[in-house]
A and B are shown apart, each in its own frame.
Chain A
């Protein structure tokens, strides 16, 4: 977790307030909370993976503990009810061919049975179908990443 030391002239940093806001973020699933009180404003934001956060000036005194690249939405993705787990061992490819557009991207709406990715093992390509309809809210593996049985691949809500 990044920390920034107080610079002279700045009001005392209310770590408690920031922690409280970060906790609220997690609990509510919001992506950003901003609070102004007594002339001091605090903004706590979550950057979703792949899209980068909205850039803002360095007025926010301390980055929220959850703004880490590729932060998981849930602490343990395998426990998420919308998780799609790998049915096999192999190498995951997100597109049908090298250079082609990926099967799905974050935010895509999928129907049951629609191909989400390919897992290759011993030169055979196996399409991984969506087990249920919904929105792809997270892709948990990178193109070309080895995967094991049961490994969380995506979250579809």
Chain B
């Protein structure tokens, strides 16, 4: 087991990782920019190292500074959190060269899943259902036309170097294809430096359902169920829940086992999430994230398994001790991502929190690094915290969520709490009847910006 872990991240996930380390008795090193000197996890860590000025590229993305911090602190492992360098294969490799363990998958798998075309090909080979499409990059508009005839419209042009919702364009009919192809290429080149495109059937009203996996790198892997993350705004998840209101046990076991089997085949190490679009009873692979995800607490609340702890254990060489039949799902959990944004315009609202009261009670969890008197810096993402609520049933969970949202006080900045209070009372949400466009349609109906 590791003696000392350097937490290469900030905000709520850094605090989350710190908590797991403390429970495991592992010493913690918090690296931070000058803007995060007063961060809660920095205050609680055993050691801290300031690694640069506020800008992420000079601090949290600054590989030499992170390596130097490992060197002077004697850390033997690095937890990269999510975002930042968590899916940077080169960073994982460099750490390995310096005898520091990267807590995450092997670089080859980070690379494989980072290339969206290669990931899709690999998924297909591993028996994971994929969205019908080009099976590789499309070299020409003529090739795109041919494929479009096979797959049918509507379809989606996607940048191979994109991902996370970026670099995608819908084409509804043949007459649009030529110009869409040309402009998608140009945009991809400008945004990602790579104009490689691929093509997929476009699903009009799918749900976003993702499967959590855990592997020990030695051939053992399990799934930990799904999370339904269909409620999104501009491709950013806003509300996540598990189990999905759309799946039954058979479907869950089916897709879960398909994914776990694939992870066993590649001897996957660590946690990961395989994301699908789900429509009319069918799953379609879109991408795999080779890191811990923001919404991991949803899975933790219904399985009672600490995913960060498991991540650290397998990274330290431990065997997977959980068998699939030992993974049980109890009750229902919902997570709301609360941002420091105006709930109507979504304009960012950094600043000082003059009054903070998080809700509590049975089945209520708040993962947040914010505290009374804390000033949210303007340089990073606007996540204030995650409210995760659990109930024995989905109805109980929704009642508890309403209560917890109403109790939550964050004064001094604007937050999206009012949006969640409205969602928790909205019929389609209560009925679980939504899809990936639902939230934007709801915002448009309410006269709010999409």
A binds B: yes
Q: CB within 8 A of A150: which of B34, B67, B69?
A: B34
Which residues of A have CB within 8 Å of B34? 149-150
Indicate if A48 sits at the interface (CB-CB under 8 A). no
Q: Mark A136-156, 1 if CB is under 8 A from B, else 0.
A: 000000000011111100000
- CB–CB B50/A148 < 8 A: yes
Interface residues of A in 35-82 (CB under 8 A from B): none
Query: Which among A8-16, A85-93, A110-118 touches the partner chain?
Result: A85-93
Asked whether any CB of chain A lies closer than 8 Å to the CB of B122, the reply is no
Q: Would A89 and B69 count as touching, CB distance under 8 A? A: yes
Q: Among residues 65 to 93 in chain B, which have CB atoms less than 8 Å away from a CB atom of chain A? A: 65, 67-69, 71-73
Residue in chain A with minimal CB distance to B37: A150
Pick from A89, A91, A122, A146: contact of B51, CB under 8 Å: A89
Bound-state Cα–Cα, A122 to B67, Å: 7
Sorting the interface of chain A by its residue count into under 10, 10 to 19, 20 to 34 or 35 or more gives: 10 to 19
A121 to B34, CA, bound (A): 20
Question: Are the C-beta atoms of A148 and B71 separated by less than 8 Å?
Answer: no
Given known A88-B65, A149-B65, contact A122–B71 (CB-CB < 8 A):
yes
Q: Which residue of A lies closest to B34 (CB)?
A: A150
| Interface check B98, CB cutoff 8 A | yes
Q: B127 within 8 Å of A by Cβ?
A: no
Q: Are A148 and B49 in contact (CB under 8 A)?
A: yes
Given contacts A149-B34, A150-B34, contact A121 B64 (CB under 8 A): yes
Asked whether B52 is an interface residue with its Cβ less than 8 Å from the other chain, the reply is yes
- From residue A123, how far is it (CB to closest CB) to chain B in Å? 9
In the complex the two chains form, what is the Cα distance from A151 to B52 in whole Å?
A: 10
Chain B minimum-CB-distance residue to A87: B52
> Would B71 and A150 count as touching, CB distance under 8 A?
no
Q: How far is the CA of A90 from the CA of B67 in the complex (A)?
A: 9
Indicate if the CB atoms of B68 and A150 lie closer than 8 Å. Answer: no
CB distance from B62 to the nearest CB of A (A): 9
Is B50's CB under 8 angstroms from A122's CB? no
The answer to whether A146 and B50 touch across the interface, beta carbons within 8 angstroms, is: no
A151 / chain B contacts, CB cutoff of 8 Å: 50
**A149/B50 contact (C-beta < 8 A), A90-B71, A90-B72 known:** yes
Nearest chain B CB to A34 CB, angstrom units: 42
> Which of these, A91, A121, A147, A149, contacts B52 with CB under 8 Å?
A149
Question: Is B50 a contact of A88 with CB atoms below 8 Å?
Answer: no
Establish whether residues B65 and A122, one from each chain, have CB atoms under 8 Å apart when the complex forms: no
**A121-B71, A148-B51, A149-B34 known; A89-B65 Cβ under 8 A:** yes
List B contacts of A90 (CB < 8 A): 68, 71-72
State the CA gap A134–B72 with chains docked (Å).
31
What 0/1 readout, one digit per residue, does chain A (98-132) give for beta carbons within 8 Å of chain B? 00000000000000000000000110000000000
Residues of chain B within 8 A of A149, CB atoms compared:
34, 49-53, 59, 65
Nearest-CB distance from A84 to chain B (Å)? Answer: 16
Q: Do A146 and B64 touch (CB < 8 A)?
A: no
Chain A proximity of B46: nearest CB distance (Å) = 14
Residues of A within 8 A of B65 (CB): 88-89, 149
B332-352 near A? 1/0 per residue, CB < 8 Å: 000000000000000000000
**Most B CB within 10 A of own CB, among A88, A91, A122, A149:** A149
Query: CA separation between A89 and B72, bound complex, in Å?
Result: 8
What are the interface flags for B83-111 relative to A under an 8 Å C-beta threshold, 1 for contact and 0 otherwise?
00000000000000010000000000000
Cα distance, A45 to B67, chains bound together (Å): 44
**Residues of A contacting B64 in the complex (Cβ-Cβ under 8 angstroms):** 88, 121-122
Question: Is A121 a contact partner of B51 (Cβ separation < 8 A)?
Answer: no
Map CB proximity to A onto B27-49 as digits: 1 under 8 Å, 0 otherwise: 00000001000000000000011
Q: State the Cβ distance, B248 to closest chain A Cβ, in Å.
A: 52
- Inter-chain CA distance A89–B59, complex, in Å, is 11
Q: B67, A121: Cβ atoms under 8 Å?
A: yes
Instruction: Find out whether the CB atom of A150 lies under 8 angstroms from the CB atom of B50.
Output: yes
Chain B residues positioned under 8 Å from A122 (CB to CB) = 64, 67-68, 71, 98
A30 to B71, CA, bound (A): 41
CA distance A25 to B98 in the complex (A): 50
Interface centre among B52, B64, B68 (most CB of A within 10 A): B68
- B226 smallest CB distance to A (angstroms): 41
C-alpha spacing A1/B98, complex, angstroms = 45
B50 and A121 contact, CB distance less than 8 A: no
A residues within 8 A CB of B72? Answer: 89-91, 146-147
CA distance A1 to B52 in the complex (A): 36
State in angstroms the CA–CA spacing of A121 and B73 once bound together. 12
Closest chain B CB from A133 CB (angstroms)? 25
* Chain A residues, Cβ within 8 Å of B71: 90-91, 121-122
A91 cross-chain contacts in B, Cβ below 8 A? 71-72
Please report B residues at the A interface, Cβ cutoff 8 Å.
34, 48-53, 59, 64-65, 67-69, 71-73, 98
Closest 10 interchain pairs by CB? A146-B72, A121-B68, A89-B68, A148-B50, A149-B50, A148-B49, A90-B68, A149-B52, A89-B65, A89-B69
| Interface pairs (8), CB distance under 8 Å | A88-B65, A89-B72, A122-B64, A122-B71, A149-B34, A149-B49, A149-B50, A149-B65
